[in-house]
Each structure stands twice: as structure tokens, then as C-alpha cells.
Amino acid sequence: MKTNLKDKVVYQIFVRSFYDANNDGNGDILGIYNKLEYLSDLGVDAIWLTPFYETNFVDAGYDVLDYKSIWSKFGSLNDFAKLTKKARELNIDIIIDVVLNHVSSQHSWFQKAIESPENKEHNYFIWREKLTPEEQKATSIFGGSAWEWQPNVQKYYFHLFSTDQVDLNWAHPDTQAAFVDIINFWYDLGVRGFRLDAIKHVAKNFDNVEQNPYFSWCKGAQEYLEKFNELAFKNKPDAYTFGEASGITVEELIKYGAGKSPLANNFFNFSWWWIGWSNKTGRNGFNANWDYQDFINAQIPFQHNDEISPSLMSNFLSNHDTSRAISRWGDYPFFWKESAKSLALLLFSMRGIPIIYYGEEIGMTNSYFENRQDFVDIDMKNAFASLVDREKIYSESEMLIYANINSRDSGRGPLRWNLEKNNGFSSQKAWINTSLDDPRMNVETQTLDKNSILNFYKKLIFLYKNDLKDLLVDGKAKLEITKDGICKISREFKGEKLIFYLNLTKKELPFAEKIQQKPLLSSYRDLKKPEDFLRPFESILIKE
């Protein structure tokens, strides 16, 4: 049964870490193909694949070499066609990442651009022969100047991210036309969902760099994206888009998503993104004093605003740019199951499309890294070089502690399928470190355990899509913190009401509510009706 956008449950796959079909240590397209029945049984309607294009994998595939290809480690276009065909038979949409802001410096576009300023591809990029004082202030998100000298053409090129990721010039119609062609290519191969990466950065204005260092929503962004949407999607009524604009505000969400010409059909809600990150160094540090009440307080402006429809935003606990939710906010190993189930209830209690990050459904924890050389991610390599070697903000040991808590690599470990060699991911050693061994933390073991995290997710998704669909998709939301510190989320629709009571701490909290009903779901296996207190990470769902 096909679903509307607002009804979907989405599952994000970091392709290199999902399942290795050809046993070379890298997850691949056929690995996903082989596990589609698992995803169908879980109950998801769409799978979002991180970039799988030809790449040098400098930034996890977001440094694209060819938008119409599959990286050789991941398979072939024939493999992809098999995947989309079988997924369609199972009523699972394929969502792909389209990296709008930049390409690899090895991409044929850039290589042609540096051959001669007369080549059409030269128009695709942002060039300067000389930098103004204001332009010189522009810095890369990954550190250092955002400008790099290109000797072939005797010009600087702009890169908001790494020097290997060259920003595109969306002001030029040739760039827009090139991306329309890319959308058409993948649509014809069966893709129906398109995640538009870093869309708020597509326009660049260098008049006031210090006030807008990340070039967010610069003048021109709306115009470029509206034109692109018109050209790419006007004849594709069954296609839909997700806009990735980190830190998007309520006002921006309404402005760019709820108007007559939305820049995307849906935007990711980053309300929980920074919880636990250092106030000084972001995900390259750790804030031990993070407050679980931010889960509610950060969401209230989005959840209580009637201008934001259920289809307009997506919620997530983790993704490819974060570490794993259990390791950040849960309590492993003592309240592992309970905290994983509580976070699942938190995710599904919110208005908006829930996105499950691969492995979340079995409570996967962070991968572990013993030294800086073990990390693959360019962001982590730059962080050690900057924060330890140059600025000396952290010692080596401190940085390792923080990196094992919050780094992107720690959330990219191989999915644990069973208790066989390499947890059933591959017969070969995986491309990246895995989490510490735990015989409970795999798909096969949890499939057989009716009280497992995996089976809890299955029940929750089933209720979301069936018995509680109207309430959880269209229901009005009310979020609050009780006087005893319990997170209370109410959902109401046409006289019916659901209440989530969530204890997101590892201590008992007094429970003053008087409830008559047995919980529909509980993070504890006894499904007990609480009376005087909620146990550590005890969270329940009640239908009044």
C-alpha cells in the first residue's frame, strides 16, 4: 500500500556499513537488496541511502566524482536497478542524497573547469582572481580558509567544506540545468525521494561574511531553488524532496517550506542535534551537563505551531553526521534496553516523519577507536590537528574520549546481523571499527526475543501505521515537563487522546499522574502501570 509523505516511516542507511554482499569489507547496493525483506518486516516505507556515487570518500561520499555512477566498492547501476525494482514490489521507496552545494575536486566538471576558463564547466564554480578583505574572512567549516589557489587558471576557488569539495555556482543556469539532468537520470531508475543536501548554502554573498560565516540562506538561494524545483519536479507528481538545512528555525521552516513555492516538501528538524555537544567545540567535544529537558523545550516551537503540517518536517535521533543516540543520551549497559525503547517512544511521539538511523532498531552503540589513526572521517582528522596539535585546547587523551562520544565515525559502524564472524556484516574485516562486543546487540538474537529493542520498534511502527495512525500522524501535539521532571507528550485527534510519559534519566522520578489504563507500550518488559514513580528510563504510552 502506497503512503502519503506524512504517513511514511523512513529508515536511513549508511551504505558502506549496512551489509556486505560480496565480502570485501564494504557494505554495498546488493547488500541492501539482500536485506529488503528485513526492512519490509520492520515496517518502513522508504529507505534513504547516503551517497553511493563514484567518490574518493574524503567526506563519506559527499565528495562526488560522478553523479550518474555507483562507486565501484558499492556495485553497479544494474545492482541499483535491481534494488529499486524489488523495493517497489515491497512498497518501499528509495530516497537518495543529492549533494547540491559542492562536488569533488576530482569531478570531471572541475577538471574541465581548470583546463580553461572558456569551458562551460568553468561556470559551475565560484572563482576570484583577487580576494577582497571581506572575502578573505571566509573560513571553511572544516577549518582554515575557504579559498584555494588554482594555478592552472590563476584563480581562487571557493570551498565551504574541505578543499576537496568545491562549491558550485548556483547563480549560473548551466549549474541548475546539470542538476535537473541528474534528477531525471535517477528518477528514471526508480528513485522517488530526493534529499537535497546543504540547500541553505547554495547561494553565496560575501558582503558580510562575519555575520553569516556559513553562508546560510544568502540572497539568491530561494530564487535558485525555486527555479530548480520547477525544472526538475514539475512533471513528477510522485516524487518528493527532503531539504537538509542544519539548524533550521521555525520561521525559516515556514518561510521556505509552507509557502506557495516550497523549496522542499519536507525539512529535517535539528532540535536535538546539539544536545550533549560542547558549547565551545561542538561535536568535537562534550558537555557533561547537558539537560534531557532540552528534548522537550527545543521541540515545543515546532510541535505547537499550527502552520507546520505533519508532512513538513522530519525528526531523528541520530544520522550519519552524529554519534549514536544510545551512547549520547542512553545508559549502556545498565539500562540499555530501557533507554533505547524510551528514545524510540520519544521519536515516534512527535509530529513529523520519524527517521530511524540504521542499527537504532537494535540499540547499536558507538564504535570504539583506540587512537586517532583509527578514525576515517576528515572531520575527525582535522579536529585532532586543530584542537590537539595546533590550538592545544585538548590533550590527546581528552580528544579521544570526546571523539568516542560524539564523532561522526562512532555512529558509522557496521550493522550487527548475528553472532558469526564480524557480526555477520562480512566475512572480511570491515572498513571501519565496530562497537564493543555484546551478544544481545544483533538482529538475529533480537528477532527471537519478544522483549527485544527490535521487536519493540516493530510494535511501535505497526501502531504508528495502523491503530494509532490518525493520532500520531495528524494529532495535535502538546509537550510539557511535569513538576517532577517527566516528559509528557499528548497527542489528540477527533476526541481521542494519547499520552507519552517519558523518564529520560537513570534515576527514579516521582509520578503523580493517576492513570487507569494499562500501558499500550512500556520500555520495561513487565508493562506495569506506574503508581508512585517511574523507574530509570521507564517510559510508557497510554491511550485515554
Superfamily classification of domain 475-543: Golgi alpha-mannosidase II (2.60.40.1180)
Residues of the chain with CATH 3.20.20.80: 5-102+173-458
Average pLDDT over residues 402-422: 98
Q: Which pLDDT score, from 0 to 100, does residue 493 have?
A: 98
- Say whether pLDDT at 2 is over 80: no
What is the rounded distance in angstroms from the CA atom of residue 306 to the CA atom of residue 313? 13
pLDDT digits (tens, 9 = 90+) for 443-493: 999 999 999 999 999 999 999 999 999 999 999 999 999 999 999 999 999
Q: Which pLDDT score, from 0 to 100, does residue 3 have?
A: 67
pLDDT digits (tens, 9 = 90+) for 118-165: 999 999 999 999 999 999 999 998 889 999 999 999 999 999 999 999
Query: Distance from CA of residue 105 to its chain's centroid?
Result: 24
What is the rounded distance in angstroms from the CA atom of residue 412 to the CA atom of residue 320? 7
What is the rounded distance in angstroms from the CA atom of residue 415 to the CA atom of residue 434? 9
Residues of the chain with CATH 3.90.400.10: 108-166
What is the rounded distance in angstroms from the CA atom of residue 162 to the CA atom of residue 159? 6
Q: Which pLDDT score, from 0 to 100, does residue 142 have?
A: 86
Place of cell 550493522: 415
- Say whether pLDDT at 1 is over 60: no
C-alpha cell at 19: 551489509
pLDDT digits (tens, 9 = 90+) for 433-443: 999 889 999 99
What is the rounded distance in angstroms from the CA atom of residue 327 to the CA atom of residue 363? 9
Q: Of the listed 63, 93, 164, 197, which one is catalytic?
A: 197
pLDDT digits (tens, 9 = 90+) for 483-525: 999 999 999 999 999 999 999 999 999 999 999 999 999 999 9
Is there a catalytic annotation at residue 115? Answer: no
CATH number assigned to the domain covering 108-166: 3.90.400.10
pTM of the entire structure? 0.97
- Say whether pLDDT at 247 is over 60: yes
pLDDT digits (tens, 9 = 90+) for 71-90: 999 999 999 999 999 999 99
CATH class of the domain comprising 5-102+173-458: alpha beta
Q: Which pLDDT score, from 0 to 100, does residue 259 have?
A: 83
- Say whether pLDDT at 285 is over 60: yes
For residue 472, give every residue at least 6 positions away whose Cβ sits within 8 Å of its Cβ, in sequence order, or none.
Answer: 348, 349, 463, 464, 491, 498
Amino acid of residue 285: G
- The helix (H) or strand (E) run that includes residue 499 is strand 496-502
Is there a catalytic annotation at residue 244? Answer: yes
pLDDT digits (tens, 9 = 90+) for 52-62: 999 999 999 99
Q: Of the listed 45, 244, 321, 409, which one is catalytic?
A: 244
CA nearest neighbour of 256 among 212, 224, 284, 283: 224
Cβ atoms < 10 Å from Cβ of 132 = 11
Strand 496-502 and strand 487-493: the pairing is: antiparallel
Percent of the chain with pLDDT over 70: 99
- Say whether pLDDT at 337 is over 60: yes
Mean of per-residue pLDDT scores for the chain? 97
